Every structure is written in C-alpha cells, then in structure tokens.
C-alpha cells in the first residue's frame, strides 16, 4: 500500500456512473485529489495493486487507506467537508435512503445492464428488463412531488448517487423515456445535466500513465 501522498489519489473512469457520483461528492467537498483516469480494458498494475477487485472508483487517502466503493468515497469526502449540506437531514429516514440505494444497486442496475447491453446476456428480453425498472422511476417521481429534490428542498448526496444511473437509463431510448410523462423526474434530470456540477465532473482527462506529472483537481 502506498502511503503519505500529498493529495488523495482517485482512480476513475469518466463514463462510469459509480465514478461519476464519487466525483460529484469530491467536487462538493472541494477536496483536491490527484486524478488518474484509467481504461477498464487496460487497468494499470499500480491500480490493481492498490485494489485487486479492479472496479472504479478507488480513492487512496493521504494516509494510504484504500476506499473501493463509491458510497464510501462519497461519505469520506462529505464527512471532511460538506458545505452544501449533502449529508443534511431530509424527510427520508436513513433506513429508507439505504433501501433506495440498495434497490438501485441490486434491481435497477441489473435491469439497466440487461436493457442497455442485451448482447452481453443470453436469452434476454431487454424490454422486459426496461419495464421492470418503471416502478423505481415512479417512486423517484413521486418523491419529487413532495420536494424539489429526492429528500428535501435542495439536492443532496442521494440525488447525485442516483442520478448517473437514471441518466444512463434515459439515454438508452430517450424518446420512449420522455413518453412516460415522468415530468418531475425529467426536470430533475435536466436540472443536474444542465448544471456546472455535471459539466465539471465530466471534464475529460487524458489516460493516466505512471510517469505522467500528477494532475490535481477538485473538479471545479
């Protein structure tokens, strides 16, 4: 394990929804990291040495602690600095937030993968998997009837943790998605897509090579 860096190191992949939500939180916390953009097809040995499980995002803290789960990285960043109150209390209980994130991970993401990449699976009816996700979308849309964001009147970590997956789902067939008339959900998506937060965390970085000069950023 590497240790005592000047800045935490973030291994990331631009289009990965898990990495996107980690970058959102790092931007909000204003913590500067050394960003290392990698390709999932050619994972660098330094990355695999730190995190043999081989998924992004991975954050290595200045003391060498390795965080291999996007939600752990989000919590790490916001527990250090949370100027926009992304961890603030809203209407949902912690248990409800956990259940929503579990449902996103276990059901929504599984169906999303089958809908988005049907050729990777055998005997798939991708429309069946698409439709299996409607109740989750409905639930999000109904949360937005009560508040401007999923949990309260301002966007919190929950919105940013869920958003990248809903965006990916909508992008598979936006015409079909728009006809669902989840207008609150569509407005919520567009609000984040049009934000400076989103354009900043989607900024392109060149693929990291071990001998490169480090690139430091807080995704400003």
Ligand X SMILES: N[C@@H](CCC(=O)N[C@@H](CS)C(=O)NCC(=O)O)C(=O)O
Indicate the residue among 3 and 106 with the shorter CB distance to ligand X: 106
Question: Does residue 16 belong to the site contacting ligand X (CB under 6 A)?
Answer: yes
Note whether 199 and 24 are within 8 A (CB). no
Q: What is the DSSP string of 41-66?
A: TB--HHHHHH-TT--S-EEE-TT--E
Question: Does residue 12 belong to the site contacting ligand X (CB under 6 A)?
Answer: no
Indicate the residue among 144 and 162 with the shorter CB distance to ligand X: 162
Indicate the residue among 68 and 152 with the shorter CB distance to ligand X: 68
Rounded to the nearest angstrom, the gap between the alpha carbon of residue 209 and the centroid of all alpha carbons in its chain is: 24
* Distance (Å, whole) CA 101 – CA 217: 28
Question: Does residue 54 belong to the site contacting ligand X (CB under 6 A)?
Answer: yes
**Owner of token pair 């995190």:** 51
60-89 binders of ligand X (CB under 6 A)? 69-71
Note whether 149 and 195 are within 8 A (CB). no
Near ligand X by CB under 6 A, which window of 13-21, 151-159, 162-170, 206-214? Answer: 13-21
For 12, the token pair is 């990331």
* Distance (Å, whole) CA 101 – CA 103: 5
Near ligand X by CB under 6 A, which window of 53-61, 89-97, 154-162, 165-173? Answer: 53-61
Q: Which of 2, 3, 39, 40 binds ligand X (CB under 6 A)?
A: 40
Near ligand X by CB under 6 A, which window of 31-39, 48-56, 91-99, 122-130? Answer: 48-56
* Chain contacts with ligand X (rule: CB under 6 A): 16-18, 40, 54-57, 69-71
């Amino acid at each position: 394990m590497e240790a005592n860096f000047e800045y935490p190191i973030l291994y990331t992949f631009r289009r990965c929804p898990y990495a996107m939500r980690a970058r959102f939180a790092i931007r909000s916390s204003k913590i500067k990291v050394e960003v290392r953009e990698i390709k999932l097809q050619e994972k660098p040995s330094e990355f695999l040495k730190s995190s043999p499980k081989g998924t992004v995002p991975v954050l290595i803290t200045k003391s060498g602690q390795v965080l291999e789960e996007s939600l752990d990285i989000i919590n790490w960043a916001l527990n250090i600095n949370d100027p926009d109150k992304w961890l603030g209390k809203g209407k949902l209980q912690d248990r409800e937030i956990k259940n929503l994130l579990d449902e996103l991970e276990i059901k929504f993401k599984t169906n999303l993968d089958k809908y988005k990449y049907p050729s990777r699976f055998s005997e798939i009816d991708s429309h069946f998997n698409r439709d299996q996700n409607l109740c989750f979308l409905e639930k999000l849309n109904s949360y937005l009837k009560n508040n401007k964001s999923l949990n309260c009147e301002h966007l919190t970590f929950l919105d940013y943790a869920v958003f990248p997956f809903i965006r990916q789902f909508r992008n598979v067939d936006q015409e079909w998605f728009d006809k669902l008339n989840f207008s609150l959900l569509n407005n919520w998506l567009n609000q984040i897509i049009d934000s400076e937060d989103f354009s900043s965390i989607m900024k392109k970085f060149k693929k990291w090579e071990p001998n490169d000069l480090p690139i430091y950023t807080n995704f400003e």
